Amino acid sequence: MTDTVVLPPPDALTEDRLDPTLDLVAEIDRLRREKNAIILAHYYQDGEIQDLADFVGDSLDLSRKAAATDADMIVFCGVRFMGEVAKILSPGKIVVIPDAEAGCSLEESCRPDTFRAFREKHPDHIAVTYINCSADIKALSDVIVTSSNAEVIVNSLPADKPILFAPDRHLGAFIAKKTGRDMTLWPGSCIIHEQFSEKELVKLKVRHPGALVAAHPECPESVLGHADYVGSTKGILDFVIKSPGKDFIIATEPHIIHQMTKAAPEKTFIPAPFANGACASCADCPFMARNTLEKIYLAMVNEGPAIQVPEDLRVQALKPLERMLEMSKSVPMSPDSSGATNAA
């Protein structure tokens, strides 16, 4: 897999040399102004990171924001593939990520050589690839999708063409069912969504009669079968805000509950359980959790870890991403939903 992260030089400021009395939020704000930076955060980030971001969104809206910004620096608080997407779409900008090791289990499950062989075995198929993958895999794909536009995009592909879908088999199966399309699925899954337990969910529903279940399509079909709503993080957020319901069970990474509580403080949001039932933070994404205020500050000071995508790879990966943006025009963009006041 192509290494797209350039680490800061050895003499760069490090966490152990940070002044512990520093007001990190104020310092990040100062750097944001001085460097004309925009801070983008996924809903799976810690609440304090969501609150200082200029824009909080799902994978599609974050990509759109990264493509359209006139900031000089993009600070991407998410995972590495999201930073890569920003750099592919906005190559003239400095794109930094707080932690070089913030990966993704779906990305890991899909390596370029094996994916190339998968494509070669199905030469007549259109390769529709979930955005949770490396730049190498994007470069080998026909069109990229996210959980909020996959159905629209698959529905608009020529009806006589079979489809390869990678790397999330649960999202793929969900879209195949919705669209009725012939789809061959890559056998990948997200380490978090994979573990939500149908049995524990049913028990939780018994304890909270009337609670509505909102689930991300990365969940297994057995869990989705109990959902009142299935959609992207942004879709789930919109659903709980607009629904007349009062109690909701949320089957996705639970940091999104931060935005739900801000938007609808009178409602109750209950994280969906894993098989062991009781664990409060089991469903926290360990990759997203690597990002901290300290690392955001350091990334802005050091202008690294920075994303650099070799130009030939970038040009190849850009094509299916641009196709995605073009084919997603009917999917509305969220208004800004951040706590920050000085968006670039």
Residues that bind ligand 13P (CB under 6 A): 58-59, 132, 146-148, 218, 232-233
State in angstroms the smallest separation of the CB of 170 from ligand 13P.
11
Least distance in Å: CB of 38 to ligand 13P? 18
Q: What end-to-end distance do the CA atoms of the chain give, in Å?
A: 33
- Coil/strand/helix, residue 37: strand
C-beta closer to ligand 13P: residue 31 or 250: 250
Find the angle CA(59)-CA(144)-CA(83) to the nearest 5 degrees: 45
Instruction: For residue 165, give every residue at least 6 positions away whose Cβ sits within 8 Å of its Cβ, in sequence order, or none.
Output: 128, 129, 130, 171, 172, 175, 176, 183, 184, 185, 186
- In the complex with ligand 13P, which residue's Cβ is closer, 8 or 59? 59
* Cβ at position 67, least distance to ligand 13P in Å: 16
Q: How far apart are the C-alpha atoms of 138 and 12, rounded to whole Å? A: 32
Q: Closest approach of Cβ 241 to ligand 13P, in Å?
A: 15
Structure tokens at 100: 């070089």
Residue 317: CB minimum distance to ligand 13P, A: 17
Distance CA 297, CA 22 (A): 10
- Residues contacting residue 315 through CB under 8 Å, at least 6 positions apart: none
